[in-house]
Amino acid sequence: MSFLFNSLLSRKKRIDLGAKVRRFMDLSITKDYTQTEARNDDRYKRTLPVLITPWRGDETTNLDSHIGITRDMSDSGVRVFFLKEPHEGDLILSFVLKRERDVLECFHFLAEVRNSSRFAPDLYTVGLLFKEHLEDYQVVAGVLSLTELIGKQYDCL
């Protein structure tokens, strides 16, 4: 019985994650959004700032947070340019979109590093697989403060 319950919870998390990723992608769409590349899933060009925070469960802090820039996204993951060498494991990816009347909307995703490579000296490209969508209350306060600062600083969002 517990296996069935866990299976249903896991399925619900995947469905919720997919809905949040699609909402984020719809809100950040540009006119030249498609990319022609032979892949299992469609990739969409997205050049957006993202706050990257190493996930350490209850011990997560914003002390090691840094900014990256997305290259492309799909329903299941994202490729990000890092200015520092990424560590293996899970990361919180926090996106901020500025809506009408300076209203900020944050999207937080727990993601797993799938692959990384050096793109240029001190620049890395990292492929991340989305694992779960996180609500604001699931993210440490320091990360929320940084996302607000990013939203206020970048008028282009």
For the chain, the three-class secondary structure string (H helix, E strand, C coil) is: CHHHHHHHHHHHHHHHHHHHHHHHHHHCCCCCCECCCCCCCCCEECCCEEEEEECCHHHCCCCCCEEEEEEEECCCEEEEEECCCCCCCEEEEEEEEECHHHCEEEEEEEEEEEEEEEEECCEEEEEEEEEEEECHHHCCHHHHHHHHHHHHHCCCC
Tokens of 7: 């299976």
Q: Are strands 77-82 and 44-45 parallel, antiparallel or unpaired?
A: unpaired
Instruction: State how far the Cα of 81 lies from the Cα of 156, in Å rounded to an integer.
Output: 18
pLDDT in the model for residue 25: 78
* Range name among 7-11, 23-27, 110-114 with the lowest pLDDT average: 7-11
Give the tens place of pLDDT for each residue, 59-97.
888 888 888 999 888 888 999 998 887 777 899 999 888
How much is the average pLDDT of 5-17? Answer: 74
Query: Does the pLDDT at position 2 exceed 70?
Result: no
For the question of whether the overall pTM of this predicted structure is more than 0.85, the answer is: no
pLDDT in the model for residue 47: 83
What residues have CB less than 8 Å from 52, skipping those under 6 apart?
A: 65, 66, 67, 68, 80, 82, 91, 92, 93, 94
Q: If pLDDT is split at 50, 70 and 90, which confidence band does 35 have?
A: low
Q: Are strands 49-54 and 44-45 parallel, antiparallel or unpaired?
A: unpaired
Give the tens place of pLDDT for each residue, 105-154.
888 999 999 998 888 888 899 999 999 999 888 888 888 788 777 776 65
Query: Does the pLDDT at position 55 exceed 70?
Result: yes
pLDDT in the model for residue 156: 45
For residue 44, list its beta bridge partners: 34, 73
CATH for 2-153 is 2.40.10.220
